[in-house]
């Protein structure tokens, strides 16, 4: 039985479909204060990238979190 030869060009549609998701997750991960490399690598796995997009979108931005911490610190200092 001969091994079948698969054309590597078959992965091109998959790469075209996944690459915007990877870029989106990297950009969102930077804004959320998470590791962009880690989320970019995990986004290369089909269907995992979609889940990570939803997960990252539900997180609070790091800048917003820092502002809330500053406000709480000022309120505690006034007591």
Q: Which residue do the tokens 């950009």 mark?
A: 27
What is the band of 46 on the pLDDT scale with cuts at 50, 70, 90?
confident
Tokens of 37: 């490399």
Q: What's the full length of the chain, in residues?
A: 79
Q: Is 30 in contact with 1 (CB distance < 8 Å)?
A: no
% of the chain surpassing 90 pLDDT: 59
Tokens of residue 61, six digits: 């931005």
């Amino acid at each position: 039985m001969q091994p079948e030869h698969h054309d590597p060009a078959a992965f091109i549609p998959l790469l075209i479909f996944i690459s915007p998701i990877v870029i989106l997750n990297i950009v969102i991960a930077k804004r959320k204060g998470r590791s962009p490399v880690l989320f970019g690598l995990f986004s290369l796995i089909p269907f995992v990238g979609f889940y990570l997009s939803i997960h990252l979108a539900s997180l609070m931005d790091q800048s917003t979190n820092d502002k809330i911490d500053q406000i709480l610190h000022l309120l505690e200092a006034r007591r």
